[in-house]
Structures are given as C-alpha cells and as structure tokens.
A and B are shown apart, each in its own frame.
Chain A
Amino acid sequence: MSQFTLNLLVVGASFALYIGIAIWARAGTTSDFYAASRGVNPIVNGAATAADWMSAASFISMAGLIAFVGYGNSTFLMGWTGGYVLLALLLAPYLRKFGRFTVPEFIGDRFYSQSARVVAVVCLLVCSITYVIGQMTGAGVAFSRFLEVQNETGLFIAAAVVFIYAVLGGMKGITYTQLAQYCVLITAYTIPAVFISLQLTNNPIPGLGLFSTHAESGMPLLTKLNEVLIELGFQDYTGHHGSTVNMVLFTLSLMIGTAGLPHVIIRFFTVPKVADARKSAGWALVFIALLYLTAPAVGAMARLNIITTIFPDGTSAEPIRYDERPDWMESWEQTGLLAFEDKNDDGRIQYYNDNSEEFASVAAERGWEGNEMVTFNRDILVLANPEIAQLPPWVLALIAAGGLAAALSTAAGLLLAISSAISHDMLKSVLTPNITDKQELLAARVSMAFAIALATYLGLNPPGFAAQVVALAFGLAAATLFPALMMGIFSKKMNTYGAVAGMLAGLIATLLYIFTYLGWFFIPETNMLANTPDNWLLGISPLSFGAIGAMINFLVAYLVMKVTAEPPEHIQELVESIRVPRGAGAAVDH
C-alpha cells in the first residue's frame, strides 16, 4: 500500500469518527449548543480543553520553535501552561458558578451595562477571528502536504468537516469530537517521540530522555548537544542569550492571555459543578503536559540527530556527501521545506552558523563558503520524525491525522466562541431579546455557518500577517478580557465605568504599541518605528506587551472606579453569590 493510500485511509477513518460522534451528539436546545447542557465529565472536559487549546502550531511547530533557540524559548512552555493556574484559581470556578453561556455575557451582566457587553464582544471577535485564520490555513497546509490536494481544496474539506459537527452538535458535538481528536493527536505525537528517545538515549520516555545520557557518546544528551552546536558556531542550547526583561514579560503575557482566551474559558461552562471546574483545569493541564513535556525533548533530540546525520564522524571531520544523504532528506527537499546549495562545490553538506563572526575564521580555514543547508523549516522536526526514526509508513499517516485533529479541534472551539457571541450576546441580549429558545438555536446554527464561511474566506485570503496575529490575540486577551473578568469576581466595588474604561485603555494601549512597531493594521511599511530592540520602549518587545496592557487596564479601572458611583446593591450580591460554590446546579437553567 502506498503512503498516499495509507494517509487517505487513516485520515478518512478519523473524519468518519468525528462525523459519527456529531450525529450521536446532536444539540436539541441552546443549553446543549452553548454548554453541552453542563453534563460533561470533568476529565473528559480536561481532554477536550487540551485539544481545544493545542492548535496546529502546538502540534507541528512547537518542537522546532524550542529546538532552534533552546532555553530562551522555554517561555512558550511556561507561558502556555502557566495560564491554566490562573484559570483554575482566578476565573473558571466563579464563571461556572455564574452559570451563563458566554464571556461577554458575564461582563455585560456583572457590569450591568450593554456597552460593557458590546466592548467585550468586540474584544472576543478580534481575538478569536485572528486566531482562527491560523487554524484554517494550518488545516489547509496539512491537507495539501499529506493528501496531495491543492491548499484550497484542503481548506474546503476542513471547513466542510467542521461545518458538519459544529453546526449539528454545537458545544456538545464539539466536546466529544475534541475528546476523540485529543486521543488521535497525542498518540500521533508520542509514538515517533518514544522511538527517537529510545534510539538516542535508551529511555522510552522522551521527557526523561532529554535529561539522560546520550547512548552513543556516553555524555549527557544536553552536554553533547551544546558541544556540537558550539563546534559549528551556534549558540549553546541551555544558555541564556536574550533579554531577561522580555523573557519574563513574554511569559507573563502568554499566561494572562491564555487565561483570558474566550474559547478556552467557555469549555469550563460545560461541567456540572464548581468543584468540577477546578478539577477540570487540572486535568486539562495534565493532558496538555503530555505533549508539552514531550515537545522540548523531540526538539532537542531532532536537532542533535540532524547534526550527527550530517557530521557522522564528528563535527571536526568531513560532513556527508550530498549524494549519500538519507532518503528522508531527499523526500523533504521535494516539499521545499528543506534545501541544500553546494556553495563551495565539494559535493558535501556543510551545516554551520555563517552569521557568527567568531566562527568565520574556522569556516574559512576548513574551506567552507557558507551554510549549505539553506532552508531548514522548523516544522520538519515533527513532520519528518517518523522517517528520521525509520518508523513504518502508518506512523506518518498517523502524524497527518494528528496534525489535522489539532487544527480542527481548535478551529471548532474558536468558531463556537465567535458564533455564540453573535447569537447569544448580540442577538438574544441586545438586538432581539424576545426570540424563543428554538429561534435562538437556529440563530446560533446560522451564526456558526456564517463564522465558518468567514474563517474559510480569511483562510483562503490570509491578510498577510498570519505570524503576528497570534501575538495580537494573546496581547488583547491579556489586556482586555482577563482583567475585566478578574475584577468582576475579586472586586465587589468595581463598577461599569471602571471596567469599560479599563478594557478600552488596555485595548488601545496594546493596539497602539503593536501597530507602532509592526505597522498600522499590520500593513507593511506603515510602522512608525523600526521593530528593533533599540527602539522599544524600555526594551519591551511588542510581543511581550500584553502583560503591560493588562497592568494599564487594572490601573485605569481602579482610578475610574474611585471617582465614580458604586455598583448597585443587587450587583454586589451577585458577586457574593458567585464566590461560593453552593447552588451552581440551580444556575443551569436561567
């Protein structure tokens, strides 16, 4: 059986499973559609949250992201997991007790104001729409790579599958497909990682392998990696090379942003009790950690593997001849993700850091005229793993299904957040409050279809700033939604003026700071200052600004609250009631 047929079979089987689940878990009421009728087991919700949270980027790019920088990019590992502590301690239990369906609904009701609700809807739409573009393009790319279809065709297939289970099942359908998608993606990620870890360190658990002995050299794996990297002019893997301030602020921004992302928060509305919301956040992090503890190991091991493949007799000996390179390199060259150029015409592959001035003399002495591995896409580290580890073809097919599962599960969660903000917060709460439950369910389905169409359109015509938008989504979630939600719970006296002023201040400050360096609305050449560390205010990168935006939000909200009227008595009582778990069951039907 050819690799293509195998990919088609495995991916097709996974899709059949998702659609089967969708038919089984049809939504009959708005409570089904928005919150799976709050009947989801907390451990199941944990797995669904993990799939909801881990996107195509986590699955495909994370290992490479860490592998090419080393210690400095640990920020992603800590930032994307540390947010769950904030969620579990500061938001999830109280929002579950509040017992409504959407994030803007809490902000609108708690701050007794339609304008607060609308500002929250705007923030939610900006965060979630920017985020969903990346998922749709990711799904398109995954399809085209593994199933040999055009990018566009791949995107349409992905949209059609999501359409079936999201429109039919809403949150209920999405929850159980996300559970299945989690199983697919974690299996696909773990199998090749285990084999690579075994080959390099004789340890079957990649996370432990990272800190054990490199079997071939007898040295600790990380010492060996540092050694070969330095010998080729690269920075050492475990060293601290970037700015400390940015490392702290970037980690904090990712943490706060994670806790403020609406598509993650709404998952905690689906569990039966407040205690379940706390527990579920813990399980979500356990399921996420299974991948996040493996990813840095995959990254480091793959980087070492590639260097030792190119320099089989050690970095001081000659590298391999181009025509003797392994088959997997040959096959990935065809995708354009890997490319070589024989700059010094010696028929061998010289891979080293040609940007290092210190190393230039060594390179010149050895007759090297530039790094000859001219393209080395970081996604290869995960995608080519099965071939590097010489695993059977079905493992590669599993990786295809895993990458698609990661993209589809996140897209579906985002689309639900978008459509419920439209049907529940805009239509039911603001524009047409008199519609019946049945009409609202229909409106929710139509909004979902509309959101999928929009996401597909944006996926086909990405606005050219796909890389920056994720930073924007996190920055905005951190600077707008998280502080508003937290103050709504922890400050009884926080009023509508403070909350709205805080959200707007956080929103505007963050947008201004990002646009100043990355261009107005990300249009190239419209940035007012070059995006270099010398120009940054106090050396703060635009990517790290979310944490500062959040502080501005808290500060402005506090100052405005001090000079304006207290919230009414019934709102203060509402805050009292969400602080205690008892009575969460009664809040189910409102």
Chain B
Amino acid sequence: MSDDKSAAAYWTANIRIIKICLAIWALVSFGFAILLRPLLQMLPITIGGTDLGFWFAQQGSILTFIALIFYYTWYMNRVDREFGVDEQ
C-alpha cells in the first residue's frame, strides 16, 4: 500500500509543477504578448523603441519557454530521486 501512496504522491507533485509551468507558458505568450499587451503598454517601460508586449511576442516568450523546460527537467529529476523512481 505504501508503494501506491508514494506513486500517487509522486504524480500529484508532477501535476502540480506541470500546472505552474503551463500557467507561466500561457501568461507570457497568450497573456503578455497578446491579451495583456495593452496593459503592458501603459507601463513606462520601452524596449528598443517599442513596448514590452512586442518583445514578448518576438523573443521573450521563446526565452521563457526554454527556461521553463530546463526548470521542469531540473525539478523533476529532483522529485524522481526523492520518490526513488529515478533511473539507475
């Protein structure tokens, strides 16, 4: 039974980090780059003569995606070891 419990806990931990990562994934692309762009335009921040939303649409979201995947990889490798399900 303890095996089942730890399998369930492992999966819950995985789902939790996936949700967090996907929330950021959606925030930078659909949010900052498109839907929230008018809000970002009201900030007094400009980058290369244009607004932050344009930067997120052309570069910021891609850089965030890379960071997200490596963060998830690092985090899950740790979780794998914690729950003893990593590959030997």
Contact = CB atoms under 8 A, between A and B. Distances in A.
Interface of A: 66, 71, 74, 77-78, 81-82, 84-85, 88-90, 93, 207, 210-212, 219-224, 226, 238, 240, 244, 247-248, 251-252, 255, 273-275, 278-279, 281-282, 285-286, 289, 292-293, 296, 576, 579-585
Contact of B22 (A89, A219, A292): A89
Given A77-B58, A251-B30, A580-B7, A278 B65 contact: no
Nearest to B11: A579
B35 A244 contact: yes
A582 B86 contact: yes
A289 B63 contact: yes
Nearest to A207: B59
B57 A71 contact: yes
B69 A88 contact: yes
A221 B49 contact: yes
Interface string B24-68: 010001100111010000000001111100110111011101101
Nearest to A276: B87
22 contacts: A74-B57, A74-B58, A77-B58, A78-B62, A88-B69, A89-B22, A207-B59, A210-B59, A212-B48, A221-B48, A238-B51, A238-B54, A274-B87, A275-B73, A275-B76, A275-B77, A275-B87, A285-B66, A296-B59, A579-B11, A581-B85, A585-B87
Given A88-B69, A89-B72, A278-B73, A77 B62 contact: yes
How big is chain B's contact interface, by range?
A: 35 or more
A193 B7 CA distance: 50
A90 B69 contact: no
A82 B69 contact: no
Interface of B: 7, 10-11, 14, 18, 21-22, 25, 29-30, 33-35, 37, 47-51, 54-55, 57-59, 61-63, 65-66, 68-70, 72-73, 76-77, 80, 83-88
A247 B72 CA distance: 27
B47 A211 contact: yes
Nearest to A90: B18
Contacts of B21: 85, 89
Contacts of B25: 82, 85
B7 A282 contact: no
A82 B61 contact: yes
Contacts of A581: 80, 85-87
A248 B34 contact: yes
Contacts of B77: 275, 278
A390 B78 CA distance: 51
Nearest to B31: A248
B62 A238 contact: no
Contacts of A222: 48-50, 54
